[in-house]
Structure 1
Amino acid sequence: MAHIDYYLATISPNCYFAGRRPGEIAAKHGATITYKPLDIMGLFGRTGGLPPGQRHPSRQEYRLIEIERTGRVLDMPVNVKPAHFPTNPAPASYAIIAAQSAGGGDVGDLVARITEACWAGEKDVADDSVIKSCLEASGFDPSLADSGLLAGAQAYEQNMEDAVAAGVFGAPFFITDDGARFWGQDRLDQLDLHLAGKL
């Protein structure tokens, strides 16, 4: 059975645009996924990138154009300058880690709901009530947001180290168990082909 490590950021517009497709592609090929949320701003610093606000103005401007354009292509509502961006990605990341460990719900749906809350819902994904609402809607006990914080923090830090060691420099980033790497929501078709043995 194939396996995918999915490195993601709860405040990434491109993780929002990936939506539920990673889980659908995995299910199509009988593959499993480990969802590995990390601090994307910290990852940029570790791998030679810059947070959006520190990039050259031309890069900042084009980023907004691309977010708006991608939303139209995928027919997904998006606010290119959400009210709560950037925000602390850790609380929602800890909740994803706790939910994955607890089981019983749909982790892929949880990731989609959290990123959607930021980029389409104008909600602060660092807010407890937002996180609990997403947990409940994805079939998890909302109290997971209050438990396992130490374990979540440790896993969150380990995800960063794993990412840097594996050559990850952005999100979404997908690595299969045979070492193939795919960066970006616009590479999901290539991931699909790879899992089908066609790429």
Structure 2
Amino acid sequence: MVRTVDYFLAPQSPWTYLGHERFVRLARESGAQVRVRPMDLGRIFPLSGGLPLAKRAPQRQAYRLLELRRFSEHLGLPLNLQPRHFPVSGDPAARLIVAVDQQDGTDAALRLAGAVLAAVWAQERDIASEAVLAELLGECALPGARLAQAAEPAVQQRYDAHTQAAIEAGVFGAPSYVVDGELFWGQDRLDFVQRKLSSDH
């Protein structure tokens, strides 16, 4: 049986970055079908009690940095704890991922998402910049025309639909993975995602 995973991601999220390549590998090895669903955390946080980073208590902000460093070292992934271009709007990159998904398919969308995430957290690049997004398309061997297509109303509608689907699934943070209606929040839950995908029910 082919399982489907709804992959709810935010392109500016360090936790999505830390889990992205492992998730892509896990999905490929399990034969799961992935639905790439960038979402707008700015709409989700107010509904779920979440706060933007700057509004969180100092203790939470400090512990976040500690955990990011731990996971970066544990996973062997480069990560700038306080990158030059963060906080940053994820909307332009999210729409671009949606456009690529529509035109070029899931694998291309996952490839671009990985490049966008690394751009923020490992390469000190501004993913809200059209020039940077154009560079990332080129680096992923994807058509530059996708940048203009990402500004079309149909792409925004799809982005809004992904966000609404996340809300209806009970998603409150990124990354989140939904398998057969079951929600898994966070890259540190990928072991459980793997077990779910390999189970018979």
Could you state the TM-score of these two structures normalised by the residue count of structure 2?
Answer: 0.93
Counterpart of 1:115 in structure 2 is 117
The count of aligned residue pairs is: 198
Is residue 132–residue 143 contact of structure 1 (8 Å, CA) maintained in 2? Answer: no
Question: 2:162 aligned with 1:159, yes or no?
Answer: yes
Question: After superposition, where does 1:116-131 map in structure 2 within 5 Å?
Answer: 116-131=118-133
Which SS does the other structure have where 1:20 is aligned? Answer: helix
CA offset at residue 41 of structure 1? Answer: 3.1
Computed over aligned residues only, the root mean square deviation of the Cα atoms, in angstroms, reads 1.5
8 Å CA contact 1:107–1:138 kept in 2: the answer is no
Query: Compared with structure 1, are the counterparts of its residues 131 and 137 closer, same or farther at alpha carbon in structure 2 (3 Å cutoff)?
Result: same
The Cα offsets for residues 128-183 of structure 1, whole Å up to 9 and x where unpaired, read as 1221222222232122011142122111111111111110000000001x212111
- Of the candidates 164, 169, 173, which is equivalent to residue 170 of structure 1? 173
Measure, in 1, the Cα distance between the counterparts of 2:47 and 2:140.
Answer: 32
Deviation, 1:198, is 7.5
Letter in 1 for 2:165: D
Hey, what does 1:191 align to over in structure 2? Answer: 193
Would the aligned equivalents of 1:9 and 1:172 in 2 still touch at CA under 8 Å? yes
- The TM-score with structure 1 as length reference comes to 0.94
- C-alpha offsets along residues 101-140 of structure 1, whole Å, 9 cap, x if unaligned? 0016622121111011001111110111221222222232
Q: Which runs of 5+ in 2 are unaligned?
A: none
Q: Which runs of 5 or more residues in structure 1 are unaligned? A: none
Q: Which moved more, 1:133-142 or 1:70-79?
A: 133-142
Whether 1:43 aligns to 2:44 is yes
Alignment of 1:41-190 (within 5 A): 41-103=42-104, 106-149=108-151, 150-176=153-179, 178-190=180-192
Percent of aligned pairs with the same amino acid:
35
Query: Mean Cα displacement is larger for which, 99-108 or 163-172?
Result: 99-108
